[in-house]
A and B are shown apart, each in its own frame.
Chain A
Amino acid sequence: MFTKTPDLPIASMEELFELSAFLHKEARLLDEERFEEWLEMLHEEIHYWMPGIENRRRENPLKEGFYDKDHMAYFDDRMRDLQRRVARFRQPSAWAENPATRNVHIISNVEAFIAPEADTYMVCSTFTSIRSRGLDEEYVIYGRRYDRIQRTEGGLKLLKRLILIPNATLSCKNINTFL
């Protein structure tokens, strides 16, 4: 979509299967509000980044085209920040989470490559996040993700995630989920 994926060697069928299962599990944990277990799937050095998308002319691009690492973002988080977000979800006084938001995360277009860093994969995927709140609120966000997933002693861990949505204006009031 926006980022030209570098040419990297393709992971094996077995690795692709394992990495897909990792992403699917992650999506299910989020749908089931198992945030602490979700945090366990993340590398302690995680960079979880969802830049704001800016509507710019082609001859006037930002550093990365439609986004820029120094510009505003939806998420530009490290582990501490993600833990804080989870902590808010867990407060009994998170009024806007009760009744609960009902989530479905759909992951598709999974491709896996061998990243240049040791024991690391570059995994591309697309997602659809559907949330419903109250009786009739429904929000759908979709986009593309570029992940770095590392094999560690504790199993596969998500080390980096870049989330790109096509929208320059978010069509809903918030993103009270992870993507």
Chain B
Amino acid sequence: MSNIIKTLDVTDALPNLKKVCNLDEGRISGEIFYSQEIYEQELEKVFARCWLFVAHESQLVKTGDYITTTMGEDEVIVVRQKNGSIKVFLNACPHRGNKVCFSESGSTRGFICNYHGWSFDTAGNLVGQHESGIYEASEFDKSKWGLKEVAQVDSYKGLVFATFDPEAPSLKEYLGPMTWYLDALFDNQEGGTEFVGGCIRSTYECNWKIAAENFVGDILHAGWTHDSAARAMLGGAVAKVSDFPESYSVNWNGHGYEFALDTVGNVAVLGESKLNRYVHTIKPSVAERLGEFRSNMIASVSSATIFPNFSFLPGQNTVRVWQPRGPNKIELFTWVVVNKSAPEEIKEMWRKGAMMTFSPTGVFEMDDGENWEYCTKTAKGKVTAKQDLFVGLGMDTLLEETPLPGNVYEGQLNEANSRAFYQYWFDLLNAKSWTEVPNRNKGKAEAE
């Protein structure tokens, strides 16, 4: 269809990119957090090509329900169609490019541009214009001037993703075996999950990768960075992760999930005993649904990022996107996810608990922001930016003999997921097409 967006001509890789990281040697440099040149490449080669999280299906219940968000820095409208499917459009009028929809969410029969009154139905078709007669005189073909539609939209267990790239692999292939782990939070009960209302947006002066990488596999920081919050919420220190008898870091295509099997370590920091009890109560049914192993992950000490910028914490149930806004700025969009079947009181406790811990006022998040901003800002120094940064923990921890799917590494105090995240990023910046992205996955593509 003519209204599918044009994709970008992919430019050549930066000539000196090789110097910014070497993951086999376990090093990166601060330059990747501060360089405008690298950022421009990311918008084109990461954000204009990868599958990006755009909505949860529970935000789009009825025909015409919409939300607006961004894919990279491109503004988009995500809207529920008459046939139940979801379409994603550029939030830019095909006449002069004005923004078409200014509200962040709502329900509508269409969108009307404020500039010259072009109006579009929820399927993106141009259905009318102010002074429509004069367009007819110019033999204007309305069917060619609908809202520009994003190439591919698909969802997994309520999570809606979209990609600008018609050549991108399917969402299923892109996520690979990570879906098996996503189920521990997003499909642990009949009926799945929903977002509680609203979205909190805030601004960090940091690079998007430092935040995404924190969730992909940096539990190491928690015991130190979040000591004050843990003491405030629990009256004691964060659980000592190195004491857990069993924990893993799993990755695939740059996505990563690190987790222990302690069931309630994450939810416990919300300081609501009823939430801990809820997790224990549903655990047997989760074991039946997903097996014993994943029933230990419902709200355990864990975190995850789906490459490039969609992250969540099981247990705290915060879900977020780190929206890039230049090399040293992000807008953070956060939501709270709950099981649809959970009692209202439990949903309400999660809404408040997620906000109390992980939000701009969250006692945990406060100490994160400070760290991420200065990891970014120090790289303003030309000399500093060129120095090696260590990302080499757990080099030889790949588990070859494991029934678990994905690239499975032993222990969550491990930088294997961080390396895999930067490696995939690096591979994309070097690849002119998807076929040039090397397959570095070593583990099983599916659960046994």
CB pair A71–B197 under 8 Å, yes or no, is yes
- Is B262 interfacial (CB-CB < 8 Å)? no
Contact B360 A74 (CB under 8 A): yes
B174 part of interface (Cβ distance < 8 Å): no
Partner of B363 from the list A71, A74, A88 (CB cut-off 8 Å) is A88
Asked if B389 CB lies within 8 Å of chain A CBs, one says no
Stretch at the interface among B87-95, B176-184, B225-233: B225-233
Complex partner residue of B203 from A54, A81, A172, CB under 8 angstroms: A172
B200 part of interface (Cβ distance < 8 Å)? yes
B35 to chain A minimum Cβ distance, whole angstroms, is: 22
Q: Is the CB of A174 within 8 A of B366?
A: yes
Is the pair B355, A85 in contact by a Cβ cutoff of 8 Å? no
* Given A71-B197, A72-B335, A173-B360, A95 and B231 contact (CB-CB distance below 8 Å): no
Task: Say which one of B4-12, B50-58, B101-109, B127-135 lies at the interface with A.
Answer: B101-109
Q: A93 within 8 Å of B by Cβ?
A: yes
Interface residue stretch chosen among A23-31, A38-46, A55-63, A150-158: A55-63
Is there an interface contact between A55 and B104, defined as CB atoms closer than 8 Å?
yes
Tell me which residues across on chain B come within 8 A of A75, comparing CB atoms: 355, 361
Which residue on chain A has the smallest CB distance to residue B233?
A84
B-contacting 9-mer, from A9-17, A122-130, A163-171: A163-171
A56 to B359, CA, bound (A): 21
Knowing A96-B366, A173-B360, say if A73 contacts B355 (CB, 8 Å): yes
B201 lies within 8 A of A168 (CB): yes
Please determine whether A72 and B196 come into contact, CB atoms closer than 8 angstroms.
Answer: yes
Q: A84-B271, A96-B366 are in contact. Are A52 and B198 (CB under 8 A)?
A: yes
A169 touches B363 (CB 8 A): no
Contact across chains for B359 and A72 when beta carbons are under 8 A apart? yes
Contact indicator B363/A85 (Cβ below 8 Å): yes
Binary flags per residue of A83-121, CB closer than 8 Å to B gives 1, else 0: 011011001111111000000000000000000000000
Q: Mark interface residues in B192-234 (1 if CB within 8 Å of A CB, else 0).
A: 0000111111111100000000000000000001011101110
B370 contacts the other chain (CB 8 A): yes
A65, chain B: closest CB distance, angstroms? 13
Question: What chain B residues lie within 8 Å of A54 (beta carbons)?
Answer: 104-105, 198-199
Which of B102, B196, B201, B204 has most A Cβ within 10 Å? B201
* B356 interfacial contact with A, CB 8 Å: yes
In angstroms, Cα B199 to Cα A87, docked, is 27
Q: Does A132 count as interface, using CB distance less than 8 angstroms?
A: no
Interface pair A96/B369, CB less than 8 Å apart: yes
Q: Decide: B367 and A68 in contact? CB cutoff 8 A.
A: no
Q: How far is the CB of B244 from chain A (nearest CB, A)?
A: 21
Q: How far is the CB of A167 from chain B (nearest CB, A)?
A: 9
Q: Is the CB of A57 within 8 A of B103?
A: yes
Query: Contact at B360–A175, with CB atoms within 8 Å?
Result: yes
Number of interface residues of A (CB under 8 A): 38
By the criterion CB–CB under 8 Å, are B369 and A173 in contact? Answer: yes
Q: Contacts A54-B105, A68-B198 hold; do A173 and B203 have CB atoms under 8 A apart? A: yes
Q: Does A173 contact B232, Cβ atoms closer than 8 Å?
A: no
Q: Tell me if A71 and B196 are in contact (CB < 8 A).
A: yes
Interface contact B360-A174, CB-CB below 8 Å = yes
Chain B residues whose C-beta falls within 8 Å of the C-beta of A74 in the assembled complex: 200, 355, 359-361
- Say if the beta carbon of A33 comes within 8 Å of chain B: no
Residue of A nearest to B226 (CB): A93
Residues in chain A near residue B331, CB distance under 8 A: 169
CA A70 to CA B351, docked complex, whole Å: 8
B202 closest partner in A (C-beta): A170
In the complex where A91-B231, A175-B360 touch, is A55 in contact with B102 (Cβ < 8 A)? yes
When the two chains form the complex, which single residue of A85, A87, A96, A171 contacts B370, counting CB atoms closer than 8 Å?
A: A96
Whether B197 and A70, one on each chain, are in contact in the complex, defined by CB atoms closer than 8 angstroms, is: yes
B373 in contact (CB, < 8 A) = yes
Closest CB-CB distance, B103 to chain A, in whole Å? 4
Q: Could you say which residues of chain B place their CB within 8 Å of the CB of A91?
A: 227-228, 231-232
With a cutoff of 8 Å between Cβ atoms, the chain A residues found around residue B427 in the complex are none
Q: Which residues in B have their C-beta under 8 angstroms from that of A97?
A: 228
Assembled-state Cα–Cα distance A77/B356 (Å): 8
Show the binding face of B for A, using Cβ within 8 Å: 102-108, 196-205, 225, 227-229, 231-233, 271, 331, 334-336, 348, 351-352, 355-356, 359-361, 363, 365-367, 369-371, 373
**CB-CB nearest 6 A-B residue pairs:** A71-B198, A91-B228, A71-B197, A173-B369, A60-B106, A88-B232
Given A52-B198, A173-B205, 8 further pairs, Cβ under 8 A = A54-B198, A54-B199, A56-B104, A70-B351, A74-B360, A87-B231, A174-B365, A174-B366
A-B contacts, 22 of them at CB < 8 A, read: A52-B198, A54-B105, A55-B104, A57-B102, A70-B197, A72-B334, A72-B335, A72-B359, A73-B352, A74-B360, A76-B355, A77-B356, A85-B232, A91-B231, A94-B228, A95-B228, A96-B366, A168-B104, A168-B201, A170-B200, A172-B203, A173-B360
Footprint of B on A, CB under 8 Å? 50, 52, 54-57, 60, 62, 68, 70-77, 81, 84-85, 87-88, 91-97, 168-176
